Structure 1
Amino acid sequence: MTETTTLTRLVDEFLSWQFDRTPGTAAMLGSLKHDHTLGDFSAQAFADYDREAAGWLERFTAVRTDDLEESVDRDLVISVLRGHRAKSGWPAWRRDPSVYTSAVLFPLFTAFLNRLRPEPELVDGVIARLAEVPALLASCEANLDAGLASPKIVERAAAQAKTGRAFLTRTLPAEVGDPGLRAKVADAAEPAAAAFDRLADFLERFARTATGDWRMGEELYSTLLREQEMLGYGAAELHERGKAAYAELDAEMRALAGSDDWHAVMLGLQEDHPPTPEAMRAEYEVETRRARAFLVEHGLVTLAEGEECRVVPSPTFQRPVLAVASYMSPPPLTSDRVGHFFVPSPPDHFTPEEVRQRLRTNSRAQLASIAVHEAYPGHHWHLSWLAAQNRPVRKVFRTPYFSEGWALYAEKLLREHGYFSAEAVGDAEKARAQELAHVEARLFRAARMIVDTALHCGDMSTDEAERFMTTKASLTPGTAQGEVTRYCAWPTQAPSYLTGALEIERIRDEFTGTQREFHDKVAGSGALPLGLARRIALGR
């Protein structure tokens, strides 16, 4: 038996273990074996996972192979396990209730979104998982530690928990076509909805007693950058890179705007926005189709057979915690290639003014770049193309430093090929507005690098961060508040966009083939830590 065969078998065994320990995630990836349970969320289960993960790390670290592809698979697993080891001393399951709410809402939502089984079987699996919801949410109450949990993070999760009843009792049954099966889902949803009601009440009380800090701290932040993301530097250097990128993009914005006060120009452009959330969705769909046609015309990538990007409103449970567009990939362990671009619809409780602010942050000048980022050749093209490849471990473990970096790289790629030009857009003034918005979108990502590192290293308050994002980028106050709360809850993710895009550009500069060959190769190899993506692309 060769070393490569041993490593292949080890990877398969590891994935089997991972799926069994996280069945909700496995089902979302397309594992039908795991679509009947949400899994064990007891404190003992988390402790067992930590112990077993440490054993897997020892096994993978000991394996040697000369095969490039296999060594990348090994090093990807090692990076994931080292990241988990680092975070075990800062456990999200004791700090953040969304660990539990998301573990219910997303698997149930994607069950009907992807429809991988006939409806009767699909309903059976959903009902089985609904029966587990009260115990799972009870684990949330038992596991949270008031000395570790931050009131800000608890309040954020409480807002999501409040959406649980409507999602479970209205949205979920409405997805079922057969009246009899629909009634069964509605009956099964009621106890689960009651559990969400109890959790929302508990979290509101718990937030008043929680005393923990959401700040990760520079030491852990830097450890994750080095060991999980394999960047080779820590938080301080990332912060400085963000400041340098911001200064360069700020100068470009001044030149494009013809004014030092480019911020005022962008605020003016935001006044031209879709009139309603549904109109916003429709205009995003038009831009998505335009981006796909441009890709085909210029031959920049190879499209996966059967791929389709559907442009739809964001899920109701996602709206209180995410103020920007998002994307959900096809389940990569299946033959399905349909992805979903979620337009950032406002929550039901928003006032008319809050709805207007959400629409302003999705102005017509900004729609083009966002559609490129989320769809073509951004997330949808990348992840539908990746799903068509044959390296399972790379479909399961993905870092935002590549996936978000790729989507931002995609925006600049299309600019290089004239996507935002007057010729492509058909109107000089509209083209200027889209190009300004495109550059501002990169500047916004530089601002994220500055703010996220400063927040978690204790150099910036949330008020200062929100002010920075409204005055140094073009976010409306409400969107800035949602963004900063997201940074508090998800440390290290916000800097991934521009950090990854710049590194992908550097790798492309060293690649010797065509652009299309580069795109197909590097994006088809996964959403790898950037050092591993470099090895794959350059063959060394």
Structure 2
Amino acid sequence: MTSAPFSSLVKDYLDERYEESPTWASMLGLTAYDERSEDLSAEAFRRRDAAVLAWKRRLEAVADDTLSPDERIDRDVILASLRGRELTQPRSDWQRQPNTYLNPSLGGVFTLFLHRLRPERDLADAARARLHAVTKQVADGKTNLDFALAPRVYVERAIGQAKAAARYARELVPGEVKDPALRQKVAEAGATAAGAYEDFAAFLESNRARAGGDYAIGEELYTALLREKELLPLDARGLRERGREQYDLLASEANKIAQQIDGGGTWTEVCERLNHIHAQTPDAMRAEYEDWTERARSFLVGTGLVTLPAGERCTVEPSPHYQRPIQAVASYNQPPAFSDSLHGHFFVPYPPDGTPPEEVQKRLEGNCSAGIPTTAVHEAYPGHHWHLVMAKQNRSPIRRTHFTSYFAEGWGLYAERVMREQGFFTDPRHLLFQYEATLFRAARIIVDTSLHMKEMTFDQAVDFMVKNGNLTPPNAKAEVGRYCSWPTQASSYLTGMLEIVDIRTRWLAKRGSADRAALRAFHDAITSTGSIPTSLAERAIAN
């Protein structure tokens, strides 16, 4: 039950969030925002920073005894998010991160056509409006960026993304529209946006040598984000130690499995051999992912491990062109939270256009046939897709819109683990790669914390991920660039999974059963809480 005053406060908070980020509102299925784009001026960023502090004060003043248990959770979810934003304000990422001026327009146009919640004419008009906004947004970027603050790795990643964005706007967006007259109008807007993206790429290239900022956020801020944003009883150094302990434990188990596979050897040696057994083209790779996605779903139907909502579906598709230069791994795009759709999109990692053939083969090695079953489980069933269609059933607008990687990615890795526990991976090669995927996440914790505590360089991190994460050098470089740009996220997978396993242990003990019916009840309950800090999810299923 939600009290009127608190529900009004939540509505005001979310309405303000939608106003400040209309492309996010569109992604949630709020089509009234489709024609609008973010204000990326310095004044707007300062206004948003002030609003964070004001909302934090308002919500901290709401007393527990005026709220129901569910309302207390919603308030605490919002406060955790606001604390995270407050903690990062001194870094002024809008002055140091060039992709701040690329991501809203790219995601804002892409999701219009991905979900198609409106008639084509309306979508075309919305896309044109957002494409026309690009010129102002990148102009704001040129004004706001301070290359004394901007790390070189941020600038280099944004150059590749801006060039891919230009091709996307000029060549690919118009193809989303069938009507010739509308397509021509979208093409004209796309050409204008492409010119702006190319101009921004040239601007970044001309200033690349001036980029002298530090990507490392430091141990103090890293720990504060863990404790105040994610509500975890961890610090950066302790988290790194946990990553090392988990790595050693998992490596021991993986080595035992490796001995069961022809030729034997250590787990890294066997994985290296298996990396060379892969689809020969990106399209053939996509077909393998699609096959294993259906197998994973069929396993869930047969075992009753989860409840599958009626009408859900997940399609397996090539990754968006504009993401290819900066993302070398699979990803998932959920159905809009406020739409009726239960259609999710599992994107498999195609190489950027123009990638040399030898590098294409290296990227395909990173998606070898033995590893694909684990990724299909993680991204689709019962991983991200199943979790996020379950989360849509929550009536709280806060829990339907809030996202923390520590729950969402923790759930994805937990999905792999529970499918292993329940016998999905019958081939030792597939089983080895499930362990490899978890070892990779342990290695991520070690690298992410070390990078941001300034105890590992970029090149050392790449070498570490090649040797300990079973990554090819191109994929390792892309991965480490991501860690530099998104502090604490790489640590979320294994950390969140271990938290969910602990919650499961306590929940099943109280229930007095651990059979599949009890597991299904746990899975259905905890995923329906959304993607909120794990400690708050545990409170939610205890209420």
TM superposition score category, shorter chain reference: over 0.9
- Tell me the CA shift for residue 538 of structure 1: 2.8
Q: Deviations over 1:382-404 (max 9, x none)?
A: 11111232111112111000000
- Tell me the CA shift for residue 261 of structure 1: 2.3
Aligned with residue 421 of structure 2, among 416, 420, 444: 416
CA contact (8 A) 1:222 1:234 kept: yes
Alignment map for 1:111-510 (pairs within 5 Å)? 111-258=112-259, 261-421=266-426, 431-510=427-506
- For 2:90, what is the secondary structure of its paired residue? coil
Q: Deviations over 1:229-284 (max 9, x none)?
A: 11022101111110111110011111111266221110001111011000000110
1:527 aligns with 2:506: no
Q: Deviations over 1:295-339 (max 9, x none)?
A: 111111112232110100000100000010000000111111111
Distance 1:372 1:317 in 2: 25
Unaligned runs of 5+ residues in structure 2 are 512-517
- Tell me the CA shift for residue 180 of structure 1: 1.1
Alignment map for 1:6-155 (pairs within 5 Å)? 6-65=5-64, 66-155=67-156
CA contact (8 A) 1:332 1:388 kept: no
- Tell me the CA shift for residue 537 of structure 1: 2.5
What amino acid is the match of 1:115? R
- For 2:3, what is the secondary structure of its paired residue? helix
What amino acid is the match of 2:536? L
CA contact (8 A) 1:146 1:209 kept: yes
CA contact (8 A) 1:507 1:537 kept: no
What amino acid is the match of 2:215? W
Distance 1:155 1:386 in 2: 36
Distance 2:45 2:400 in 1: 24
Distance 2:210 2:245 in 1: 41
- For 1:445, what is the secondary structure of its paired residue? helix
- Tell me the CA shift for residue 5 of structure 1: 2.5
- Tell me the CA shift for residue 37 of structure 1: 1.1
- For 2:214, what is the secondary structure of its paired residue? coil
What's the counterpart of residue 424 of structure 1?
Answer: none
Distance 2:493 2:17 in 1: 27
What amino acid is the match of 1:519? H
- For 2:345, what is the secondary structure of its paired residue? strand
CA contact (8 A) 1:150 1:207 kept: no
CA contact (8 A) 1:335 1:388 kept: no
- For 2:91, what is the secondary structure of its paired residue? coil
- For 1:30, what is the secondary structure of its paired residue? coil
Unaligned runs of 5+ residues in structure 1 are 422-430
Distance 1:52 1:260 in 2: 57
Q: Deviations over 1:208-232 (max 9, x none)?
A: 1111111111111111111101102
Please, what TM-score do these two structures have when normalized by structure 1? 0.96
- Tell me the CA shift for residue 535 of structure 1: 1.1
Distance 1:175 1:419 in 2: 38
Distance 2:266 2:296 in 1: 30
What's the counterpart of residue 425 of structure 1?
Answer: none
CA contact (8 A) 2:168 2:321 kept: yes
Q: Deviations over 1:509-537 (max 9, x none)?
A: 11144111111111111111111112112
Distance 1:203 1:304 in 2: 46
CA contact (8 A) 1:510 1:538 kept: no
RMSD: 1.2
What amino acid is the match of 2:535? G
What amino acid is the match of 1:392? P
Distance 1:189 1:75 in 2: 42
- For 2:322, what is the secondary structure of its paired residue? coil
CA contact (8 A) 2:2 2:71 kept: no
What amino acid is the match of 1:217? G
Q: Which moved more, 1:384-393 or 1:72-81?
A: 384-393
CA contact (8 A) 1:284 1:367 kept: yes
- For 1:341, what is the secondary structure of its paired residue? strand
Aligned with residue 521 of structure 2, among 511, 517, 524: 517
- For 2:228, what is the secondary structure of its paired residue? helix
CA contact (8 A) 1:3 1:64 kept: no
Q: Deviations over 1:184-205 (max 9, x none)?
A: 1001111111100100000111
What's the counterpart of residue 515 of structure 2?
Answer: none
Distance 1:109 1:492 in 2: 26
Distance 2:541 2:245 in 1: 27
How many residue pairs match? The answer is: 529
Distance 2:265 2:459 in 1: 25
What amino acid is the match of 1:117? R
Identical counterparts, % of pairs? 46
Distance 1:92 1:394 in 2: 26
Distance 1:471 1:216 in 2: 25
CA contact (8 A) 1:95 1:144 kept: yes
Distance 2:342 2:131 in 1: 27
Distance 1:325 1:290 in 2: 18
What's the counterpart of residue 514 of structure 2?
Answer: none
